[in-house]
Structure 1
Amino acid sequence: MLHTTLSGDGPTLVWAHGLMHSTEFESRTGWFHPDQPDPLRRVRFDARGHGRSPGSIDPADYLWSSQAGDLLSLADAQATGLYALGGHSMGSASALLAALRAPEKVSCLVLATPPTAWHTRPAQVRRYRQMQRIIQQRGLASLVSLAAQNPALPAWLLAARPGDAAASLDALAQMHADDLLAILDAACQCDLPPAAALEQLQIPTLILAWRDDPIHPLETAQRLAAALPLAELQVIDDVNALHAWPASISHFVLRHAADYSRL
């Protein structure tokens, strides 16, 4: 069973975290969720093999399509009527795939720092394969040590909030090596759908992007915004704007929950 946390009261937002992160990581950083309950009912969970959720050594369990299924199952169990879906990086990909699978259930989408996709994906796959080799040859502790020397955060964010890098390292260090090998193998097999599929998705979508992060390139966010018919794109490059993201998410979900209630 997936480890799940619930907070707040109001329209439901079911949220998925990023690769090698967890709900604990997102609570520590505060990038997407407020410190106190707000006018949303936030349903957050640790993906398989992450945080406090059990994992497996089968890569099929970690494909974005499999995570989309987990997301929909949890949303159907936790929400009555329409719900919002959202996520960060890997979680944004699973939320998008879930919405494509069941658009009639989704009031709106929030896609935060979408991952590498399409022509930028092969370079990221090479990074994942290199990470696998490090784990296999030298162990997970060596990967954590190398990650500490090369934090995967924009320089402007790292300079202002070095503790966020420490939170990322802690999340990575708590993973099981065998699970992580399978997770990375699955990530190498994943990509976002083609633009032609995205153009059919008539769901209001908020895309949150930041600059100067090759793992979450602005180009992916821009191409998603161009393809999704009802997309809004916000791009930031400073921590003051980052601090506004939790409220932006809440306002967006509340606005579209109200829109649907009037139909």
Structure 2
Amino acid sequence: MPSETVLLLPGTASDEAFVRFVFAEPLSQVGAVLTAPRVRTLEERRTALESAWEGHPIVVGGISLGAHVAAAWAVANPDKCAGLVLALPAWTGPANRAPTALAAKASAGIVASHGLETALRGTTGWLHDELHRAWRGYGDQLVPHLEEASESAAPTLEELRSLDVPTGILGCTDDPVHPIGIARQWAEAIPRAVLVTTTLDAYPHALGRAVQAWLQAR
């Protein structure tokens, strides 16, 4: 069993509480320890990765935007990364009109024009609870962050092909915001990747299956 500390980053306008909720138990079951830093901006996500490195390769990853940032850091720092745990990559290369990017841009506009409560109207169940907590936690940073996330770039397929580390990827077969085709692209590009899938009715706990995929890739 691995004994690594695994640093995982949240997705767009998500937070460290959700990362812990999804990944703390799956990682503890395999003897690994989760680090989930409090980050709000893209730059804070990147800084958290750089700050975690203490002279030996580390396992990193995240959900959606967090997966993008972690993979991009691994591409730029191949000697610092020991593995990747990635859930729901949302696009490859420039965001363009990726569904997740469009959703973030639209949410930013609604929050800016009509307020947080209007933007959250219609959400139910666990998503309602998570967004109410996380979005309030961003405060005045919410709209700028949604906008920056919607315009950010993920690694290109060529960059992903350079990642020679064990990589677990979790994709969802029926999530229109995180198309399964993107997860499959990433898994096909990264040489040592293992892809596992889930469905929306298993969210959010199923995102932790990325840990098992990472173990299989080792």
Q: Same fold (TM over 0.5)?
A: yes
Residue type at the aligned position of 1:43: T
Structure 2 residue aligned with 1:6: none
Residue in structure 2 matched with residue 145 of structure 1 by the alignment = 121
User: Could you tell me which residue of structure 1 aligns to residue 75 of structure 2?
Assistant: 100
Structure 2 vs 1, CA of residues 248 and 214 (structure 1 numbering), >3 Å: closer, same or farther? closer
Partner of 2:145: 183
What pairs up with 1:16-31 in 2 under 5 angstroms?
16-27=9-20, 30-31=21-22
Larger Rg: 1
1:11 pairs, out of 4, 10, 13, with 4
Tell me if structure 2 keeps the 8 A contact 1:108–1:253. Answer: no
Shift of 1:207: 0.7
Using the alignment, how far apart are the partners of 1:186 and 1:94 within structure 2? 13
What displacement does 1:225 show? 1.1
What SS does structure 2 have at the residue aligned with 1:32? Answer: helix
Distance 1:99 1:24 in 2: 24
Partners of 1:104 and 1:131 lie apart in 2 by 37
The equivalent residue for 1:41 is 33
* 3-state SS of 1:91 partner: helix
1:221 aligned residue = 183
Q: Do residues 195 (structure 1) and 157 (structure 2) align?
A: yes
Change (3 A) 1:47 1:68: closer
Q: Deviations over 1:180-212 (max 9, x none)?
A: 111012112212222122212212211111121
Query: Structure 2 vs 1, CA of residues 176 and 225 (structure 1 numbering), >3 Å: closer, same or farther?
Result: closer
Q: What are the within-5 Å matches in structure 2 for residues 85-164 of structure 1? A: 85-118=60-93, 121-124=96-99, 125-146=101-122, 148=123, 162=125, 164=126
Q: Percent identity?
A: 23
Q: Secondary structure at the match of 1:34?
A: helix
CA–CA distance in structure 1, aligned partners of residues 210 and 161 of structure 2: 24
Root mean square deviation of aligned Cα: 3.0
Unaligned runs of 5+ in 2: none
SS where residue 56 of structure 2 aligns?
coil
State the AA in 1 paired with 2:13: M
Any gaps of 5 or more consecutive residues in structure 1? 1-8, 49-61, 152-161, 257-263
TM-score, normalising length: structure 2? 0.83
Q: Which amino acid aligns with 1:174?
A: R
In structure 2, C-alpha distance between the alignment counterparts of 1:171 and 1:198, rounded to whole Å: 33
**Secondary structure in 2 aligned to 1:181?**
helix
Distance 1:42 1:181, change over 3 A: same
State whether residues 169 and 214 of structure 2, in contact with CA within 8 Å, keep that contact through their aligned partners in structure 1: no
- In structure 2, how many angstroms separate the alpha carbons of the residues matched to 1:136 and 1:251? 39
